[in-house]
Each structure stands twice: as structure tokens, then as C-alpha cells.
């Protein structure tokens, strides 16, 4: 299979070091359009769509392969191999952050840094761990998606985006959700929200930046603190940006934090 076509890969930029951007649930590579221009003079920008999202090859979607985040991590490594990338800086938003972590654990020599925006290793509260959701809430949400996916998208997208003073952003996210095949979206949501990658975190050798948004209902502040303690070579930055998608709602702050980290 043509990996470039499968994942709708686009590359541009004047630099040699790859800066690879992974999007979150219900989104596609277009969500990075406000961020990538700041880096294209000095990096090779690599954009892609996860299989099942955007303009990826939907025929490549396999529920068996993508029944865990490891399937998506395998795709990331295949893309790096197909493009002959080295010294990769992987920027992962939301669930893509854990895909980047899993990829770097499997191929530590391939990655120089990880930038994790709104990451979460586990979305479900568990004893002393605060993930943000009770398991019953997640199961209820998945049932809601199955019953009426468009209504779920219209209801939840503004809550996920936050920034009620910028309603167009919530509307854009809702439209992005609705552009995704409902069956694929629900399966992806199930894999995302029921995953638990906490045991993987101590295995990570790659330096990582954790960008924690304020008032993020998907990844609350306790999650960022947990990740920072669990990942030995990590830097935690508390953002002023609110909501779960600072790449759209606060690109200037997102860029500034990334630039400051990459200078280190």
C-alpha cells in the first residue's frame, strides 16, 4: 500500500529536520494551518491524516488494526520509514500525543523530541488518578454518538473547544467531526477514551514537552502534572490558553512555547 496516499501526507518547508504533526480525534491536518507557517523556514513540515480521518484512504481502515493506539503508532513509524525521516520532532495534539509516545518507545533512535499538546494517558478517573471522566460518563457519551452522531458533534464540539467568545471555532470543530464517517468516529472515540497508557510512560526515553491548557475538560490540569511526574525527561508548561485546541484558539501562544522549547 502507498503509505503517502494512505495517510494523505504533505511535506513542505526549507529545513532538513522533520517536524511531524499528528492531529486529534475527529480532526485532520488542516487543524495545524495556523501553526506550521511559523516553522517552515527552519524545518521540514510533515502533515498527515490518520486513517479514517480527513482525506486519508478510508479503505485502509481496519477495526482490528485500529482497536488500540498501537495501530496508529505503527502507521507513524511506517510514514517515517517511507519518507526516510531521521531526528524527528513529533508534535501530537490530544490522542496523537500518546501515539507519538508509543512510537518513540518502539523506535527511540528515530525521535529527538516530542511536543505533547493537551495529552492524556488515561481519560477515566481511577482511584487516586484524575482523568476527567467517570467510566459511566464515557460509556454514555459513546452511546450518544451511536444514537445521534450529528447531534453529539454539535453538542460536544463547543465544550471541547472551549472559548465560548469565539463560537466559530466550536462550529469548525463540529463540522470536522461531522466530516468523519460516524462508524469510524465512534470506534476511534471508543479506542481513545477507553485507552490506558499510564504503564507505558516510564518506558519513554525521548525528551518531551507537555503543553497543558487551562480549563480543558478533556485533559484537566491533574493530567499534565501526572504526565510530568511519569515521564522522566519532560518539561511541563501551563498555558494561558483555555479549552482543548490551542492550535486553533491560541496559535500565537502555541507557537511561542514550541519555539522556546526547541531552542533548548
Enumerate the active-site residues.
Answer: 94, 216, 244
Name the nearest CA neighbour of 98 among 77, 117, 125.
Answer: 117
| Strands (DSSP E) found in 118-233 | 207-214
**C-alpha–C-alpha distance, residues 254 and 87, integer Å:** 22
CA dihedral sign, ordered 238, 241, 246, 252: negative
Distance, CA of 84 to CA of 155 (rounded, Å): 42
CA distances from 38 to 14, 168, 245 (A): 12, 23, 18
The DSSP result for 172-187, as a single string, is HHHHHHHTS-HHHHHH
Which distant-in-sequence residues (6+ apart) come within 8 Å of 186 by Cβ? 142, 145, 146, 149
From the list 235, 242, 210, 217, the residue with the least C-alpha distance to 98 is: 210
Residue 96's nearest CA partner among 31, 145, 151, 161 is 31
Q: Count the neighbouring beta carbons within 10 Å of the beta carbon of residue 11.
A: 14
Amino acid at each position: 500500500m502507498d503509505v503517502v496516499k494512505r495517510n494523505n501526507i504533505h511535506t513542505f518547508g526549507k529545513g532538513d529536520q522533520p517536524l511531524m504533526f499528528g492531529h486529534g480525534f475527529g480532526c485532520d491536518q488542516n487543524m495545524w494551518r495556523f501553526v506550521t507557517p511559523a516553522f517552515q523556514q527552519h524545518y521540514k513540515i510533515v502533515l498527515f491524516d490518520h486513517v479514517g480521518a480527513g482525506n486519508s484512504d478510508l479503505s485502509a481502515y481496519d477495526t482490528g488494526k485500529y482497536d488500540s493506539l498501537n495501530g496508529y503508532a505503527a502507521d507513524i513509524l511506517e510514514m517515517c520509514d517511507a519518507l526516510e525521516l531521521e531526528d524527528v520532532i513529533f508534535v501530537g495534539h490530544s490522542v496523537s500525543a500518546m501515539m507519538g509516545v508509543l512510537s518513540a518507545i518502539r523506535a527511540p533512535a528515530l525521535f529527538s523530541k516530542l511536543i505533547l499538546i493537551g495529552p492524556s494517558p488515561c481519560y477515566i478517573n481511577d482511584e487516586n488518578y484524575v482523568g476527567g471522566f467517570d467510566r459511566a460518563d464515557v460509556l454514555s457519551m459513546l452511546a450518544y454518538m451511536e444514537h445521534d452522531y450529528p447531534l453529539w458533534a454539535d453538542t460536544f464540539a463547543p465544550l471541547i473547544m472551549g472559548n465560548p467568545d469565539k463560537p466559530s471555532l466550536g462550529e469548525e470543530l463540529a463540522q470536522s467531526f461531522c466530516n468523519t464517517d460516524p462508524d469510524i468516529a465512534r470506534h476511534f472515540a471508543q479506542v481513545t477514551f477507553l485507552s490506558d497508557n499510564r504503564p507505558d510512560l516510564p518506558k519513554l526515553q525521548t525528551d518531551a514537552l507537555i503543553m497543558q491548557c487551562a480549563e480543558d475538560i478533556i485533559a484537566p490540569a491533574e493530567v499534565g502534572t501526572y504526565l510530568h511526574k511519569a515521564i522522566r525527561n519532560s518539561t511541563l508548561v501551563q498555558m494561558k490558553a483555555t479549552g482543548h485546541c490551542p492550535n486553533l484558539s491560541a496559535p500565537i501562544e502555541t507557537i511561542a512555547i514550541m519555539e522556546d522549547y526547541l531552542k533548548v
